[in-house]
Structures are given as structure tokens and as C-alpha cells.
């Protein structure tokens, strides 16, 4: 049997190295808001603030976040009673802004209220800030968010009917800033706001994004693999021309 040529052996070694590069499974971190508007878990802290439009569009303004036993609600002008004491889209459209101490890749939102049998609808919308620099929500309308650095993550329907939890962010977006609120047509069209939504946000789960690659080239990257490949082709041609 003919021995593999040098370039085939080198390429196999390089690819083998790439395939054997360590893959670390990361455990989920859960931040619970059952007893407060800020918390810390896995070495990452998170604070919250409430936001709403005027009820007929307009720029956003800050409102009080209330830690009910079922999770966080936004109490508009401190004047709402049940079910509007939750995060809702009955009148003004409300969101909770979650500000983490470092970037996280959220993958679950859990609500602690309403129950599946309550008769209240429980659809949510989620965004993450992926723009450069800082942001100022007091200058934003909901319709502006996706052109001002906010990535639309998704609308998720009927959380009360799925044990309170929505699996979100299949695109694995990472950010320090997340908006989770009642289903919102102004951010991105949805067929979910015909029945008004009322939710209390009990917890968020996610992982920290993988660390950046090491500064030296200990693991071949696509570009260097490509260059290695080109070099090997050249080497093979030279060897062939000598044969």
C-alpha cells in the first residue's frame, strides 16, 4: 500500500487537532427575582428597572419595578391594581430592563404568575442590546429600538400554559442588557396582543459566552488552516515536479 503523502499526513494532523480542541459544557446560571428587584448568581449581578410608553406610543419613561411573590411587575405610576400590577400591555406597553454585570447568553424566561387556569394571557417579547456604546431608553420609542442597537430576540406565547417557562434566544445572542416584557407589536409585529398579556417575571437562566480564543495561535484558525493548506499544495507541487 502506498504511504500517505506528506501533505495528507500534515493535513490530517491539523484537522485532528482542530477536532480535538476542548469543548466545555457550561452549566446554566439562574437569576431569581422571587424576593427582590436585584440579585446575584454565578458571580454575575443583575439589576432591574421598569419601562413603558405612554399607552399611545411616545418615548419610554421609567416606572417602578415591584417584586411580587410570583416575580417582577411594573407598576405604572404606582397606581395599577391586579392584573395590571404585573408586566402588561393593557394600556401602556411595559418591559423590565435587566442590566447584568457582564454579558450573558440568556436561554430561559420563567414567569411565576398568572397560572394556566387564571384566564389571563401570558405572551412576552424579548430584546437584547447589541449596539456599540451606551443607550438611553428615555430617548427611544418602541418602534426605534431595533434601529438603535437593540436586537429583537423573539415573541414567546402562552408561558402560563408551558409551566411558566419559555425557551428563548436560539440564536445565542449575548449581551449585558436585556428587555423582557409583555408581547409588543411596536417592536416587531406579532399576532399576540389581541388578548392583553399580564406576567410576573420570576427568573432568567443563561450561560456566559465562551471566552475569546487565546492570543497565540495554539489552535489553528480557519485562516491559518487555509494558509497551511495552500502551503501544502505548493509543497506537493514542488515535490511532484522533482519526481
Nearer to Ca ion, 195 or 227 (CB): 195
Nearer to Ca ion, 50 or 149 (CB): 50
> Least distance in Å: CB of 199 to Ca ion?
10
Is 12 a binding residue for Ca ion by CB under 5 A? The answer is no
Which of the residues 51 through 90 are near Ca ion (CB under 5 A)?
74, 80, 84, 88, 90
Is 93 a binding residue for Ca ion by CB under 5 A? The answer is no
> Least distance in Å: CB of 178 to Ca ion?
18
| Count, residues near Ca ion per rule CB under 5 A | 11
> Least distance in Å: CB of 233 to Ca ion?
59
Is 123 a binding residue for Ca ion by CB under 5 A? The answer is yes
What DSSP string describes the chain?
Answer: -PPPPHHHHHHHHHHHHHHTS-------EEEE-SS-S-EEETTEEEEEEEEE--SSS---EEEEEEEETTEEEEEGGG---TTTTSEE-SSS-EEEEEEEEEEEEEEEEEEEES-TTS--B--EEEEEE-SSS---GGG--GGGGGGTTEEEEEEE--GGGGTTEEE--TT---EEEEEEEE--TTTS--S--SS-BEEEEEEEEEEPPPPPPPSS-SS--HHHHHHHHHHHHHHHHHHHHH-
Nearer to Ca ion, 53 or 90 (CB): 90
Which of the residues 184 through 203 are near Ca ion (CB under 5 A)?
192, 195, 197
> Least distance in Å: CB of 190 to Ca ion?
8
> Least distance in Å: CB of 174 to Ca ion?
28
Instruction: State the residues that interact with Ca ion by CB under 5 A.
Output: 74, 80, 84, 88, 90-91, 121, 123, 192, 195, 197
Amino acid at each position: 500500500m502506498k504511504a500517505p503523502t506528506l501533505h495528507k499526513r500534515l493535513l490530517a494532523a491539523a484537522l485532528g487537532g482542530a477536532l480535538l480542541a476542548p469543548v466545555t459544557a457550561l452549566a446554566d446560571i439562574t437569576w431569581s427575582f422571587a424576593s427582590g428587584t436585584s440579585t446575584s448568581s454565578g458571580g454575575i449581578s443583575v439589576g432591574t428597572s421598569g419601562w413603558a410608553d405612554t399607552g399611545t406610543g411616545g418615548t419610554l419613561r421609567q416606572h417602578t419595578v415591584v417584586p411580587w411573590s410570583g416575580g417582577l411587575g411594573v407598576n405604572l405610576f404606582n397606581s395599577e391594581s391586579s392584573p395590571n400590577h404585573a408586566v402588561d400591555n393593557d394600556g401602556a406597553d411595559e418591559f423590565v430592563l435587566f442590566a447584568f454585570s457582564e454579558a450573558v447568553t440568556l436561554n430561559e424566561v420563567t414567569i411565576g404568575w398568572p397560572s394556566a387556569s387564571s384566564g389571563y394571557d401570558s405572551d412576552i417579547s424579548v430584546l437584547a442590546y447589541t449596539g456599540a456604546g451606551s443607550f438611553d431608553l428615555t430617548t427611544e420609542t418602541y418602534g426605534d429600538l431595533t434601529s438603535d442597537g437593540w436586537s429583537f430576540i423573539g415573541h414567546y406565547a402562552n408561558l402560563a400554559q408551558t409551566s411558566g417557562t419559555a425557551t428563548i434566544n436560539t440564536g445565542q445572542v449575548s449581551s449585558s442588557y436585556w428587555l423582557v416584557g409583555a408581547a409588543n407589536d411596536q417592536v416587531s409585529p406579532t399576532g399576540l396582543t389581541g388578548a392583553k398579556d399580564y406576567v410576573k417575571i420570576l427568573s432568567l437562566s443563561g450561560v456566559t459566552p465562551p471566552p475569546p480564543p487565546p492570543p497565540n495561535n495554539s489552535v489553528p484558525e480557519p485562516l491559518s488552516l487555509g494558509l497551511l493548506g495552500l502551503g501544502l499544495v505548493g509543497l506537493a507541487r514542488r515535490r511532484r515536479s522533482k519526481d
